[in-house]
Amino acid sequence: MPSASSLAATKKALRRFRRNRRGSAAVEFALVAPIFFALLFAIIETALVFFAGQVLETGIQDSGRLLFTNQANCNGMTQVDFKQNVCDRISALMSCSGLDIDVRSYPQGTAITITDPINGGAYAGNFVYQPPACNVTDQTVVVRGFYQWPLIVTGLGYNIANIGRGTSSSKRLLAATSAFRPQ
């Protein structure tokens, strides 16, 4: 049986331990840090996705302006040339290998059908390059650009993927569209 003095010493040590606050900040940070960093990385990734989408949108608008002003279609710009023109505008954030361009011309009064390139969670686009003829102003031109943006933070429970969701290669399809009638 323990002596009274050892019980008193044990109680005194427990009281001292309860009152001691050294190291509590480290323990609290260890509990909060994973959630904090997951949230921080999710915010950064979301910002990058929106910024990349805006860069793609601007690149498509600027390159589409070449069709709008008849500079591309009257000078014989090919599909490869047009894609390279867009690539030159977005190369700071995106590689040209992941870029898909769709240019279609529709006669005036024709219904315009825009198809979704994502089918059942898989990316399957049917893209063409069909610019208007030189100096033809009675057509509507739709220029679309697509880029598969790789995602990193999806494994932490935050998933904005629309291609391959739930897989190790999940991506966000960025899309930009410009529609106009050439001048």
Q: What is the pLDDT of residue 162?
A: 83
Q: What is the pLDDT of residue 53?
A: 95
Residue that has been written with the tokens 């003095």 in this structure:
5
Angle formed at CA 135 by CA 130 and CA 136, multiple of 5 degrees: 60
Q: What is the pLDDT of residue 157?
A: 66
Q: Rounded distance, CA 132 to CA 66, Å? A: 12
Q: What is the pLDDT of residue 105?
A: 92
Q: What is the pLDDT of residue 12?
A: 82
Q: What is the pLDDT of residue 63?
A: 94
DSSP H/E element including 147: strand 139-150
Cα 142 to chain centroid, rounded: 22
Q: Which residues of the chain have pLDDT under 50?
A: none
Nearest to 162, CA basis, from 96, 127, 116: 116
Cα 120 to chain centroid, rounded: 19
